[in-house]
Structure 1
Amino acid sequence: MDEIDKHKLENLRQQLPIGLRHGLSLLEKAGGNVEAAAGYFRQECIALIVQKTGVSELEASAHLLEHNFDIAATLKHIDEARFTLTELIIRRNKDKEEALEKIAAAVVEKEQLIREYWLHPDALSRLQPEVFCLVMLMEWLGFAGWEDFETALYFHLDVVTDLIHRQLLLPEIAGTLKEARAIAIAQAPQQKAFLEKDGFVSQTAELTAQSNLFETQRPVLINTLYHFVENNRSKFP
C-alpha cells in the first residue's frame, strides 16, 4: 500500500467506524475516491439496519447518523425505542428461567422493593396480580435453590401454591408441593428425635420422592410462567 492509499484509508477511518480490510475494499470499489467509499459504507449500513429492524431507510439513516454509524449502538437504540424492558429481556435471553429472573429483578428495581434477605409477600402487596405472581414464584424458586427443597416448603408455601393453582392453572404442581409439606410436617417429630440422638437427619424416601416429582414438573412450571408473562407483558416494566 503506497502513502497515498494509506492517507485515503486513514481519512476514511477518521470519518467512519470501519475496519482496515473493509476500508480498502470500499476504496477499491470507489476507485480511490474517499467520499464515494464513505457513501458505499453508509448505504451498506442503512441496508443492514433496514433488514434487521424493518424501519424505513430514512429512519435507519437518521439513527445511524445519531450514533456515527455504529451498528451495535444503532440497533440497541432502535430496540430500546420499540420494545419495553421486559420485551427486550425476552428477545435477548433464550433461557426462559434466566429471562424470568431478570424480569423479576427489573420489577424489584423499578418498584424499589426493599428486601431483607428474601422478599415477604406483604412487601409485594402493591404489585398487580400478574406481577406479584412472577416475583413471588421466582423468589420461592430462588429460596429453594439457595436453601433446599424441604426448607422451602415452609417459605410462604400457601401463597406460592395458590398462585401456581389459580394464576398458572397448574393444580397438579401445587398439589405436589402441598403433599410434600404434609409429609415433612408428619415426619417432623421423628426427624427431631433422630437429630437429638444422632446429631443429624437426612431427607426421608417419601419426601425425596416428592422432591424428585417436583423436579420433573419444574420445567412445566417455568414454561407456563414464561408464557404467562409473555401474555401479560404490558403489565411488566
Structure 2
Amino acid sequence: MDPTLTQALAQLRSALPIGLRHARALLQRCAGNPQQAAELYKAELLQVLMEKSGLPHHQARQYLHSAGYDLSRALTALDEARFTLTQRILRHHHQDKPRALDLIAQAIETAEQLPRQYWLDFERLDQLPAALRCFMVIHEWLAFEQWEGFDSALHFHLPQAIAQLRHLQLDALAHTLEQADQRQQHLRQAHADERHVELAIRIQQDPLFDACQTRFNQQRTQLDEQLYAWVERHMAQFPA
C-alpha cells in the first residue's frame, strides 16, 4: 500500500471511529486528504442521525460531537434523553415481550434495592407501589413456577400471586390456581400415609389436578401480554 495512503488512513481512523473499507473509499473520493475525508464522513453521519431521529441540524450535530462521532453512542444518548429506562426497554424489545418483562423486573429490583435470597422477599414486594407490586409478585411467582414446576409453585406465595392476578383482572387464571391448590390439598390429606415420592406421583397423575395444570398452561400464554399492557398503562410508576 502507498505509504502516503497508509498515513492518511491512520490519521483519519485516529480522528474518527470509521471502518477501514469506508475510510479507504472516502480517501479515494478526497484525493487522499484525511481532513476532507473526515468532514465528508461527519456530514454522512449527520444526515443519518437527522433521518433516524428527526432532530434539526444543530441538535444532531451536537449529539454526534458529544459522542465522538460514534453514531451508535449518539443514538443511545438520544434515547436516554427522550425516553425513560422502561420506555427504552419496551421500544427495543417489543417483539420479545418475555425478554422485555425480565429486563423491567431487573430494573425494578435494582431501583428499589429489593433483597433476594435466591428468590425475592415477598414481604418487601408488598411494600411496593400498587403497579410495581402487581408486576413483581406475578413475575417472581411465574419465574418460580418455570424453575420448580407447577405443583411446587402452589406452595410459593400462592395467595399473593392469586390476589395480584385478580388485580390484573385475570380471574379465570386465578380460579385455576385455586382449584389446583384445593385438589392438591385434598389428595395430600386423603393419602397422608403415603411416602412423599408416591404422593407426588399420585398428584401428578390425578386427572383433576392434571386438568388444572393443562388449563394453567393454556391461560399462561396471555399473561405476558397482560403484564406488558400493564406496564404501558402504569408507565409513570416504573423505573425512569
Mark yes or no: TM-score above 0.5.
yes
- 1:34-77 per-position Cα deviation (integer Å, ceiling 9, x unaligned): 22211110011111112222222212211111121112222111
* Aligned 1:1-237 pairs, distance under 5 A: 1-93=1-93, 94-166=95-167, 168-195=168-195, 198=198, 201-202=201-202, 203=204, 204-237=206-239
Superposed displacement of residue 32, structure 1: 2.8
C-alpha distance in 2 between matches for 1:219 and 1:36: 56
- Alignment check: 8 A CA contact 1:165 1:174 kept: yes
C-alpha distance in 2 between matches for 1:198 and 1:122: 33
- Alignment check: 8 A CA contact 2:115 2:121 kept: no
Taking structure 1 as reference, are residues 14 and 191 closer, same or farther at Cα in structure 2, changes over 3 Å only?
A: same
Give the unaligned 5+ runs of structure 1: none
Of residues 188-197 and 105-114 in structure 1, the stretch that sits farther from structure 2 once superposed is 188-197
Of residues 50-59 and 106-115 in structure 1, the stretch that sits farther from structure 2 once superposed is 50-59
Superposed displacement of residue 132, structure 1: 0.4
Taking structure 1 as reference, are residues 124 and 199 closer, same or farther at Cα in structure 2, changes over 3 Å only?
A: closer
AA partner of residue 112 (structure 2): E
Give the unaligned 5+ runs of structure 2: none
- Alignment check: 8 A CA contact 2:105 2:139 kept: yes
AA partner of residue 151 (structure 1): S
C-alpha distance in 2 between matches for 1:196 and 1:228: 39
Identity of aligned residues (%): 35
Superposed displacement of residue 113, structure 1: 1.4
TM-score by length of 1: 0.91
C-alpha distance in 2 between matches for 1:61 and 1:73: 13
TM-score by length of 2: 0.90
Taking structure 1 as reference, are residues 135 and 18 closer, same or farther at Cα in structure 2, changes over 3 Å only?
A: same
